[in-house]
Structure 1
Amino acid sequence: MTSSRPIDGTVFEAVLFDMDGTLVASTPAVNRSWARWGREQGLPENFRDTVGHGKPAGEIAAELLPADRVDEGAARIQAIEIEEIHDVTMLPGANEALDAVPGERKAIVTSCSTPLAEARMEAAGVHRPATIVTASDIVHGKPDPEPFLLGATRLGVDPTRVLVVEDAPAGLQSGRAAGMTTLAVVGTHEANELEADLVIDTLELVRFVPVDGGVRVEIVEKGTPRPARA
Structure 2
Amino acid sequence: MPLLQAHTLLFDMDGTLVDSTALVESTWADFCGRHGLDLAEVLAFAHGRPTRETVHRFVADAPLAAAETRRLVAHEESETTGITAVPGAAALLAALGPGSWAVVTSASRRLAEVRLGAAGLPVPELLVSADDVTRGKPDPQGYLLAAERLGREARETVVFEDSPAGIRAALASGARTVVIGACADHDHEAQRHPDFRGFSVAPADPSRPGVTLTVPEPVAGGRPVRR
Q: Deviations over 1:37-82 (max 9, x none)?
A: 2223343444415514111111111111114132222212111222
What SS is found at the alignment partner of 1:103?
coil
Gaps of 5+ in 2: none
* 2:42–2:54 contact (8 Å) kept in structure 1: no
Task: Name which of structure 1's ranges 145-154 and 76-85 shifts more when overlaid on structure 2.
Answer: 76-85
* 1:164–1:182 contact (8 Å) kept in structure 2: yes
What SS is found at the alignment partner of 1:165?
strand
* 2:17–2:85 contact (8 Å) kept in structure 1: yes
**For residue 5 of structure 1, what is the aligned residue in structure 2?**
none
The within-5 A match list for 1:68-147 is 68=62, 69-147=64-142
Q: Deviations over 1:99-118 (max 9, x none)?
A: 22221121011111112112
Q: Deviations over 1:6-41 (max 9, x none)?
A: xx4242110001111111110000011111122233
* 1:18–1:165 contact (8 Å) kept in structure 2: yes
**For residue 185 of structure 2, what is the aligned residue in structure 1?**
193
Alpha carbons of structure 1 residues 49 and 78: separation in structure 2 relative to 1, 3 Å: closer
Q: Which amino acid is 2:33 matched to?
A: R
What SS is found at the alignment partner of 2:197?
helix
What SS is found at the alignment partner of 1:80?
helix
Q: Which amino acid is 2:216 matched to?
A: V
**For residue 23 of structure 1, what is the aligned residue in structure 2?**
17
Alpha carbons of structure 1 residues 78 and 159: separation in structure 2 relative to 1, 3 Å: same
What SS is found at the alignment partner of 2:99?
helix
* 2:25–2:43 contact (8 Å) kept in structure 1: no
Structure 2 counterpart of 1:39, from 33, 36, 43: 33
1:203 aligns with 2:196: yes
**For residue 13 of structure 1, what is the aligned residue in structure 2?**
7
Alpha carbons of structure 1 residues 223 and 211: separation in structure 2 relative to 1, 3 Å: farther
Quote the RMSD (CA, aligned, Å). Answer: 2.1
Q: Which amino acid is 2:87 matched to?
A: P
**Paired positions, count:** 218
The percentage of counterpart residues that share the same residue type is 33
1:215 aligns with 2:214: no
* 1:207–1:220 contact (8 Å) kept in structure 2: no
Cα drift, residue 169 of structure 1? 1.2
What SS is found at the alignment partner of 1:193?
coil
Alpha carbons of structure 1 residues 20 and 50: separation in structure 2 relative to 1, 3 Å: closer
TM-score (norm. length: structure 2)? 0.87
Q: Which amino acid is 1:151 matched to?
A: A
Gaps of 5+ in 1: 1-7
Cα drift, residue 208 of structure 1? 2.9
